[in-house]
Amino acid sequence: MLIRRALGICLVAAVVVSAISARNVPAQTGGIDDVKQLAGKWQGRGTRGRTAGGGGGLTEWNIAEDGSITGISGINNAPFTGRLWLEGGKILYVTDGAGGGSKGTFTLTQDRAGKKTLTGDGRANRGGQMLNFDLTRAE
Protein backbone atom coordinates (compact mmCIF):
# COMPACT_ATOMS: atom_id res chain seq x y z
CA MET A 1 0.00 0.00 0.00
CA LEU A 2 2.77 2.43 0.92
CA ILE A 3 4.69 1.58 -2.27
CA ARG A 4 1.58 2.04 -4.38
CA ARG A 5 0.95 5.46 -2.83
CA ALA A 6 4.59 6.54 -3.36
CA LEU A 7 4.43 5.48 -7.01
CA GLY A 8 1.22 7.44 -7.47
CA ILE A 9 2.77 10.57 -5.98
CA CYS A 10 5.85 10.19 -8.22
CA LEU A 11 3.65 9.78 -11.29
CA VAL A 12 1.64 12.91 -10.49
CA ALA A 13 4.85 14.88 -9.84
CA ALA A 14 6.33 13.74 -13.16
CA VAL A 15 3.22 14.80 -15.07
CA VAL A 16 3.21 18.24 -13.40
CA VAL A 17 6.92 18.82 -14.07
CA SER A 18 6.49 17.74 -17.71
CA ALA A 19 3.57 20.11 -18.22
CA ILE A 20 5.47 23.06 -16.72
CA SER A 21 8.60 22.29 -18.76
CA ALA A 22 6.64 22.03 -21.99
CA ARG A 23 5.15 25.49 -21.47
CA ASN A 24 8.57 27.07 -20.84
CA VAL A 25 10.20 25.74 -24.03
CA PRO A 26 9.93 28.37 -26.77
CA ALA A 27 8.85 27.27 -30.23
CA GLN A 28 11.69 27.37 -32.74
CA THR A 29 9.73 29.77 -34.89
CA GLY A 30 9.33 32.32 -32.10
CA GLY A 31 5.63 32.60 -32.86
CA ILE A 32 5.94 33.57 -36.52
CA ASP A 33 3.80 31.79 -39.08
CA ASP A 34 5.16 33.24 -42.34
CA VAL A 35 8.72 33.56 -43.58
CA LYS A 36 7.87 37.14 -44.60
CA GLN A 37 8.18 38.03 -40.92
CA LEU A 38 11.91 37.26 -41.11
CA ALA A 39 12.51 39.45 -44.18
CA GLY A 40 15.34 41.94 -43.85
CA LYS A 41 19.05 42.15 -43.12
CA TRP A 42 20.42 39.99 -40.30
CA GLN A 43 24.01 40.33 -39.09
CA GLY A 44 26.13 38.57 -36.53
CA ARG A 45 28.71 35.86 -36.11
CA GLY A 46 29.11 32.60 -37.95
CA THR A 47 31.45 29.96 -36.58
CA ARG A 48 32.67 26.53 -37.56
CA GLY A 49 32.34 24.18 -34.63
CA ARG A 50 30.85 25.03 -31.25
CA THR A 51 33.21 27.87 -30.32
CA ALA A 52 34.71 30.95 -31.91
CA GLY A 53 38.05 29.10 -31.82
CA GLY A 54 36.64 26.85 -34.55
CA GLY A 55 37.04 29.67 -37.09
CA GLY A 56 34.55 32.21 -38.26
CA GLY A 57 33.68 35.84 -38.32
CA LEU A 58 31.05 38.42 -39.14
CA THR A 59 28.27 37.21 -41.40
CA GLU A 60 25.33 38.84 -43.12
CA TRP A 61 22.08 37.19 -44.23
CA ASN A 62 19.63 39.14 -46.41
CA ILE A 63 16.28 37.37 -46.26
CA ALA A 64 13.66 38.30 -48.88
CA GLU A 65 9.90 38.02 -48.28
CA ASP A 66 9.81 34.83 -50.37
CA GLY A 67 12.51 33.23 -48.16
CA SER A 68 15.34 33.56 -50.67
CA ILE A 69 18.69 34.44 -49.11
CA THR A 70 21.82 36.27 -50.22
CA GLY A 71 24.71 36.96 -47.95
CA ILE A 72 28.36 36.95 -47.01
CA SER A 73 29.79 34.01 -45.10
CA GLY A 74 31.43 34.63 -41.75
CA ILE A 75 33.59 31.57 -42.23
CA ASN A 76 35.25 32.14 -45.61
CA ASN A 77 34.04 35.70 -46.36
CA ALA A 78 32.48 34.48 -49.62
CA PRO A 79 29.04 35.32 -51.03
CA PHE A 80 26.29 32.74 -50.80
CA THR A 81 22.67 32.28 -51.83
CA GLY A 82 20.00 30.09 -50.38
CA ARG A 83 16.48 29.59 -49.15
CA LEU A 84 14.77 29.72 -45.76
CA TRP A 85 11.34 28.26 -44.97
CA LEU A 86 9.04 27.14 -42.17
CA GLU A 87 8.18 23.47 -41.85
CA GLY A 88 6.82 21.42 -38.98
CA GLY A 89 7.29 24.21 -36.44
CA LYS A 90 10.91 24.76 -37.48
CA ILE A 91 12.84 27.40 -39.41
CA LEU A 92 14.93 25.51 -41.98
CA TYR A 93 17.59 26.82 -44.35
CA VAL A 94 19.83 25.65 -47.18
CA THR A 95 22.66 27.64 -48.77
CA ASP A 96 25.00 27.27 -51.71
CA GLY A 97 28.23 29.16 -52.31
CA ALA A 98 31.97 29.07 -52.78
CA GLY A 99 32.44 27.04 -49.60
CA GLY A 100 30.04 24.34 -50.74
CA GLY A 101 26.98 25.55 -48.84
CA SER A 102 25.21 24.24 -45.78
CA LYS A 103 21.84 23.27 -44.35
CA GLY A 104 20.31 23.47 -40.91
CA THR A 105 17.80 25.13 -38.63
CA PHE A 106 17.31 28.46 -36.91
CA THR A 107 15.58 29.28 -33.64
CA LEU A 108 14.04 32.74 -33.28
CA THR A 109 14.01 34.34 -29.84
CA GLN A 110 13.09 37.78 -28.58
CA ASP A 111 14.36 39.40 -25.39
CA ARG A 112 12.33 41.67 -23.13
CA ALA A 113 13.53 44.76 -25.00
CA GLY A 114 12.16 43.32 -28.25
CA LYS A 115 15.55 42.42 -29.78
CA LYS A 116 15.13 39.37 -32.04
CA THR A 117 17.91 36.81 -32.50
CA LEU A 118 18.19 33.99 -35.03
CA THR A 119 20.38 31.23 -33.61
CA GLY A 120 21.39 28.72 -36.24
CA ASP A 121 22.84 25.23 -36.16
CA GLY A 122 23.83 23.50 -39.35
CA ARG A 123 26.31 21.36 -41.20
CA ALA A 124 28.56 22.21 -44.12
CA ASN A 125 27.71 20.26 -47.27
CA ARG A 126 31.42 19.62 -47.84
CA GLY A 127 33.19 18.01 -44.91
CA GLY A 128 30.16 18.01 -42.60
CA GLN A 129 31.58 20.53 -40.12
CA MET A 130 29.16 21.94 -37.57
CA LEU A 131 28.20 25.55 -38.22
CA ASN A 132 26.70 27.99 -35.72
CA PHE A 133 25.15 31.42 -36.26
CA ASP A 134 23.96 34.17 -33.95
CA LEU A 135 22.23 36.87 -35.99
CA THR A 136 20.29 39.97 -35.02
CA ARG A 137 18.17 42.13 -37.28
CA ALA A 138 20.22 45.07 -38.60
CA GLU A 139 18.69 48.48 -38.11
Question: How confident is the chain (139 residues) per 10-residue block, as mean pLDDT?
Answer: 56 44 52 93 86 71 97 85 95 89 94 92 90 90
The domain made up of 35-137 has a fold known as Lipocalin (2.40.128)
117 bridge partner residues: 109, 136
At residue 48, the pLDDT reads 81
The model carries a pTM of 0.74
Beta bridge partners of 60: 43, 72
- Cα-Cα-Cα-Cα torsion 75, 102, 62, 138, nearest 10 degrees, comes to -50
Residue pair 89/65 in contact by the 8 Å Cβ criterion: no
Residue 127's pLDDT is what? 86
The reported pLDDT for the residue numbered 83 is 98
Beta bridge partner(s), residue 41: 62
